[in-house]
Structure 1
Amino acid sequence: MGRLEGKNCIITGAAGGIGLETTILFAREGGNVLMCDISGPALEKALAKVKELVPDAKVETKITDVSKESDIAATVAYLDSWGGVDVMFNNAGIMHADDADAVDTPEKIWDLTQAINVKGVWFGSKHAVLSMRKHNKNKGSVINTASVVALVGSATPQLAYTASKGAVLAMTRELAMVHAREGFRFNALCPAPLNTPLLQDWLGDDAAKRHRREVHFPTGRFGEAIEQAQAVLFLASDESSFVNGTDFVVDGGMTRCYTTPEGPPTQPPKNLAR
């Protein structure tokens, strides 16, 4: 028996990065997975990779725009035919290249970011709960992708993204309290910057921007999507049955490390107050 044997799972933003790696793990652990993303071609390419790695995977795809409640409702309704939602991974999100500071972030970029990163999580959580209730589930797991920038300031300006992830964190905590007696757990995954296409596209060829990110890692490297997926698998499984309302930080120690512009010190600065 796999750790998710027989569980019906929805993963948004499943065509790449954390979403794709999580799909592969869920499939290996016996989950029935509905991969959702806004791009049909990207989904088909991702599904082919899943099938290659897990030939007997019980996985389907559905094009979903998480910023539209009608899309989320239709996606969850499709999973209802499988027996209802057991695991909802609200992972879809964007970090737009034009996202900047309070002065330079265009309003349309702010609105787009909130629509996908915040409303998408709200819609996903709402319809997951409705499905769990409809099918008389006495337990269920909802995992929402937040970020370490919901806990600490970003090294580079990305105000819309940072604000959206702070909202995800706050929303997840409240949902965890509201639905705990129903057996529905809500946890927020807080990744550090990862070696994913989303971040690499945003960093581009800007060496200074890249350096401002990398120096904050005690490990000296970005995290990998698979390292986040393994945390999501734990939160989705019954192994985490008493884990609820957490800011589940998977960052290689980034948020616990004192740093300088040159990177984490190997020895404490001599003038550091004791």
Structure 2
Amino acid sequence: MSDRMINKIVLVTGGGAGIGQAACHAFAREGARLVVSDIDPASGSATVDAIRNDGGDAHFVQADVSKAADVKAMVDQCIETYGQLDCAFNNAGIEGDVAVPITEALEETWDRVLDVNLKSVFLCMKYQLMHMQQRGTGSIVNTASIAGLVGGTFGAAYFASKHGVVGLTKAAAIEYGRAGIRVNAVCPGVIETDMADRSMGDNEKLQDVVRAQYPLRRFGRAEEVAESVVWLCSDAASFVTGQSLAVDGGFVAT
């Protein structure tokens, strides 16, 4: 623990599992006080309980981040609880149908993926930036993906949403840099989470094929992405903005 985030107020969406949960614990270890948000109250509350059991300070807010009213209430509750917002990790996301070609994709699936993965980032930043502007400081990290840096077959909605997050991150960084606010994105490769399990299941042959595309010859861990997020939010990255950091074991370098 280096106390990189001591006395910082951090908001994390999708904090009930996977990368979001790992980030919550990483921020807490660095001294941050947290607002943990998730659409699932059981998993989000479990993250908060674990942080408190370790001596940390955390508060749970249930929210569907694809809905403006929920997002506004979430950010308002953060301000009401802790008085400020220093950093935000907009991480909530879904994969949609990752094995369906465009000609067979359902419009409702497209809409849901874009709402949760892209619209939510816009909504979160809209209300987060309002508060950060008033203080003249802040750092936001959005979860994109290597699917936001390269193309691929199937899962068109997911690729489109994550490319959108990369573009939105750049736009916000340019627009709010003069206000003292930094905006970056992390672009994870395949990470050992429930999302990856849903995509590949127990298909060991498929896992081996995908793993072979990574120079490090393994998948990532949620904790590895979390450390990158904490660094981007910290003063150690004070001159870094508008970047989409690949945390991918070298995948996009191949």
TM-score relative to the length of structure 1: 0.88
**Do the aligned residues in 2 keep the contact of 1:12 with 1:92 (CA within 8 Å)?**
yes
Q: Paired residue for 2:147?
A: 149
Structure showing the higher helix proportion among its residues: 2
Residues 47 and 163 of structure 1, relative CA distance in 2, 3 Å threshold:
same
- Distance in 1, Cα, partners of 2:205 & 2:106: 23
Structure 2 counterparts to residues 69-88 of structure 1, below 5 A: 69-81=68-80, 82-88=82-88
What value does the CA root-mean-square deviation take over the aligned residues? Answer: 1.5
Q: Which runs of 5+ in 2 are unaligned?
A: none
Structure 2 counterparts to residues 91-130 of structure 1, below 5 A: 91-97=91-97, 100-130=100-130
Q: Per-residue deviation at 1:50?
A: 2.7
Q: Paired residue for 1:15?
A: 16
Structure with greater Cα Rg: 1
- Distance in 2, Cα, partners of 1:194 & 1:79: 29
Residues 211 and 157 of structure 1, relative CA distance in 2, 3 Å threshold:
farther
Count the aligned residue pairs.
Answer: 252
Q: Per-residue deviation at 1:114?
A: 0.3
Q: Paired residue for 2:39?
A: 38
Q: Paired residue for 1:265?
A: none
**Percentage of pairs with the same residue:** 33
- Distance in 2, Cα, partners of 1:148 & 1:96: 16
- Distance in 2, Cα, partners of 1:22 & 1:255: 23
**Do the aligned residues in 1 keep the contact of 2:36 with 2:44 (CA within 8 Å)?**
yes
Structure 2 residue 51 is matched with structure 1 residue 50: yes
Q: Paired residue for 2:173?
A: 176
Q: Per-residue deviation at 1:85?
A: 1.4
Q: Paired residue for 1:225?
A: 222
Q: Paired residue for 1:241?
A: 238
Instruction: In structure 2, give the amino acid aligned to 1:61.
Output: F
Deviations 1:136-176 (A, max 9, x none): 3121001000001111123x521111100000000000100
With 183-192 and 77-86 compared, the bigger mean Cα shift is at: 77-86
Instruction: In structure 1, give the amino acid aligned to 2:150.
Output: V
**Do the aligned residues in 2 keep the contact of 1:99 with 1:110 (CA within 8 Å)?**
no
- Distance in 1, Cα, partners of 2:29 & 2:179: 28
- Distance in 1, Cα, partners of 2:47 & 2:78: 19
Query: Secondary structure of the residue that 1:62 maps to in structure 2?
Result: strand
With 159-168 and 43-52 compared, the bigger mean Cα shift is at: 43-52
- Distance in 2, Cα, partners of 1:202 & 1:97: 9
- Distance in 2, Cα, partners of 1:246 & 1:6: 25
**Do the aligned residues in 1 keep the contact of 2:51 with 2:57 (CA within 8 Å)?**
no
Residues 32 and 126 of structure 1, relative CA distance in 2, 3 Å threshold:
same
Query: Secondary structure of the residue that 1:249 maps to in structure 2?
Result: strand
**Do the aligned residues in 2 keep the contact of 1:98 with 1:109 (CA within 8 Å)?**
no
- Distance in 1, Cα, partners of 2:150 & 2:107: 23
- Distance in 2, Cα, partners of 1:64 & 1:251: 29
- Distance in 2, Cα, partners of 1:169 & 1:209: 28
- Distance in 2, Cα, partners of 1:185 & 1:68: 24
Query: Secondary structure of the residue that 1:143 maps to in structure 2?
Result: strand
TM-score relative to the length of structure 2: 0.95
**Do the aligned residues in 1 keep the contact of 2:225 with 2:247 (CA within 8 Å)?**
yes
Q: Paired residue for 2:248?
A: 251
Q: Per-residue deviation at 1:208?
A: 5.1
**Do the aligned residues in 1 keep the contact of 2:97 with 2:109 (CA within 8 Å)?**
no
Structure 2 counterparts to residues 160-175 of structure 1, below 5 A: 160-175=157-172
